Amino acid sequence: MIMSERFSTRHMSCEAFEASGLSFTYAFHATPLGEVIALVCDGALAGLGFADDQTSALADLQRRWPKAAFAHAPGAGADLVAHVFGKRPQAPVPLLLIGGELDRAVWEALLTLGAGEAISYGALAARLGRPKAARAIGGAVGRNPICVAVPCHRVHGKDGAPTGYHWGLKAKQALLDWENKQINL
């Protein structure tokens, strides 16, 4: 299954988001891989991160959008998180991609990967028509605020080895192992 079949996306630059007056609600949810923080904006999942420490997880998302309002709303995004972690949605899960132009293009490209498909930074750069921009592409991958749904965990180094992951290589490997089990069920 292509990831984009499971998700619908809307795009917004950081500047447009700041000017919009939109705000985030957030909540913490248990998943098969541990606790996550879900950030919801205008009915869409705008952030999803592993939350070994709730305070640090919230601070991480607040650093990404320092001018945004964040309101704790128990249960916010529960249905979206359930769909990301396996429950088949009736309709595509809405994602709100907030970032720079390159960031959003990279995240959209990641959504076109088939289930379990991996790609190197260089191959991703070539796919985006920017074969000499692997480092810039890597930076955009690293800024992905919606883990699991936007499969940045599937990007690896030129030699196929797992490389950096915002939430740590241990989390990346656990996620890859869990995803591979889901595909083989």
147 is catalytic: no
Alpha-carbon distance values, 103 to 25, 88, 118, 179 (Å): 23, 27, 18, 24
Q: Which of 14, 41, 147, 152 is catalytic?
A: 152
Q: What is the Cα–Cα distance from 59 to 132, expressed in whole angstroms?
A: 33
**Measured distance CA(15)–CA(150) in Å, rounded:** 22
Active site residues: 152
